[in-house]
A and B are shown apart, each in its own frame.
Chain A
Amino acid sequence: MAGNQLPGRKMRLPSRTMLTKDRIVTLILFLPSLVLVGYFVYVTIGWNVVVSLSDWKGLTPSYNIVGFDQYTRLFQDPTFFTALKNNLVLILLFVPGSLFLGLFLAILLDLKVRGEGVFRGIYLLPFALSFVVTAVLWAWMYNPSIGVINTLLMKTGLGFLKSGWITDPNVGLYCVVLAIIWQFSGYTMLIFLAGIRSIPESQMMAAEVDGASGFDLYRLVVIPQLKAPALSAFVVLMVFALKAFDFIFVLTDYSDYTYILPLMMFRETFSMNRFSYGAAIATILFLLALVIVVPYLYLSFRREKE
């Protein structure tokens, strides 16, 4: 039976491998998304880079390519370093803060708590809200004259702790960090709680039999197994801290002490009309995000493959 010749057999209507009807249907279905993502994500990013290499200032677009001028200017601009420094402080306080508070809340909720669902809902609620809502709410909290915090301090005899909060250049940035930790720790709690719950109960029981108890159980058995959820929460928090805009924009406008890169980008572009300068800041933001995200995506892809 070897060979290709079989007596009495004919080919009937061979369909070609390429361009079957199903392939055309697939293409038509996929095309809108490919075009939209391709254009709105990739073409626009490339376009933004092109703008950043031009000398476009003012309202009429100009694509006169001048190279890295904008970037050179940026690295001589003291406000850029102020913004960068504030961004770093924000990241260094906000990311670990949210991770630890979230982990702490997740462990509390894991201790067979009555009404767990209610507490979980309460802690997660801020995360569902818009940053604009958060900003307005915290403006009210921080208001120096009749705001919630100062009023409560007065009423409880802690009046000496009164402060200008968000309006005080010394503590303004920390007030911002506190408010966004309030908003994000429910999210990290959710991620950690899911991670804890995916550890089989038999492991906890085995550890208890082995003599571990109380918080040791978490320290020795649970927390070391939370690397994956911690990593994904870390990436989400990092990227957010990098591009945080809405909250600070609404809360403090362009005050120096809370000035961060996304604010600078928006101001240079849309208030000062220095489009190429703004685009350069945006490109740097994009590169910073890429440094965080690409290794993460690569890792999770490899894990998925295995």
Chain B
Amino acid sequence: MRFPKPRRVTLYILLVFFAFLFLLPLWTCITTSFKPVHDVIYTTPVELPLSPTAEPLITALNIMQRPLLNSFTFTISAMILSCLLGSINGYILTKIRFRGSDTVFLFFSIGIFIPYQAVLVPLVLTMSKLGLFNHIEGLILTHTAYGIPITTLLFRNFYGVIPNSLIMAAKTDGAGTWTIYRRIVLPLSLLPFVVAAVFQFTSIWNDFLFGVALARGSEAQPASVALANLRGTTEFQWNVQMAGTLWYALPVLVIFFVLGKYLMRGYMAGAVKG
């Protein structure tokens, strides 16, 4: 539908205005990350640095290095595990089915929406009992478990589209449950795996609550918690804070720019974050 000319101009003005608002915080984050303290005080945040320096980035990286590595470790492990389990569940819930499989799915779905505060106390107790409190393994286990509901939903949506005749054909061809998964369903799952992996990577990487409850102030501390601490310890070093933010946001930004298309599919599948 086309509007007359003056209206189109207004339309683009609005679009650009909103784009400016949405990008402003990120833009000032980037400019400030490259500013020495002097520039932070004597230039406006939107301006480019007068004398650009990598100093804040290096300082921030020194502080954030270990937490970033932690985050990579548990994010990637939990991402892989929750995707694999989600894929298997999606297969079982759509292609094998059994009495009550819809109910099981409903119970899984509730897991997507629960406020994690409601499990926090027992979770901390469980991890202490298992000796996984303040350990990366504890974060892997936690993120895997709470990732299963959403990955199950994603894979179930995708597998619903695979025709049942394909599965029936494989059965009469002699393939059992596992062979059908391995030889038919899994090879057809590239797209859902990319969508679920991208989705899981960003939401696990972005998590703060589990990190702060399970690994605060320890060697296993995730980058999100480290960044929050950085904010406390570098109260007036805005450039270092922004540089730390940039480091922490970088993997997600890269995913967003390279694989954004798949991330959007994840968001649209009724997915939630938080």
Residues of A within 8 A of B (CB): 21-22, 25-26, 29-30, 32-34, 36-37, 39-45, 47-48, 51, 61, 105, 108-109, 111-113, 119, 121-141, 143, 146-148, 151-152, 155, 182, 186-187, 190-191, 194, 204, 208, 213-214, 217, 232, 235-236, 239-240, 242-246, 249-250, 262, 265-266, 269-270, 275, 278-279, 281-283, 285-286, 289-290, 292-294, 297, 300-301
Contact = CB atoms under 8 A, between A and B. Distances in A.
A210 to B, nearest CB: 14
B86 to A, nearest CB: 8
A113 B92 CA distance: 43
Interface in B137-164: 142, 144-146, 148-149, 152
Contacts of B126: 44
Contacts of A51: 121-122
A42 B107 contact: yes
Interface stretch (B51-59, B189-197, B264-272): B264-272
The 7 closest A-B pairs by CB, nearest first: A130-B206, A243-B115, A286-B118, A40-B145, A47-B122, A246-B208, A44-B119
B121 A136 contact: no
A275 to B, nearest CB: 6
B177 A285 contact: no
Given A125-B22, A130-B252, A140 B241 contact: yes
A40 B119 contact: yes
Contacts of B144: 36
A32 B242 CA distance: 41
Given A111-B3, A130-B252, 17 more contacts: A22-B176, A25-B176, A30-B88, A36-B148, A44-B118, A44-B126, A124-B260, A128-B260, A131-B274, A133-B249, A141-B28, A146-B45, A148-B24, A151-B45, A191-B267, A266-B213, A297-B109
A74 B95 CA distance: 48
A41 B111 contact: yes
A48 B123 CA distance: 9
Interface residues of B, number: 93
B116 A243 contact: yes
B122 A128 contact: no
B31 to A, nearest CB: 10
Interface string B228-249: 1001000000100110110011
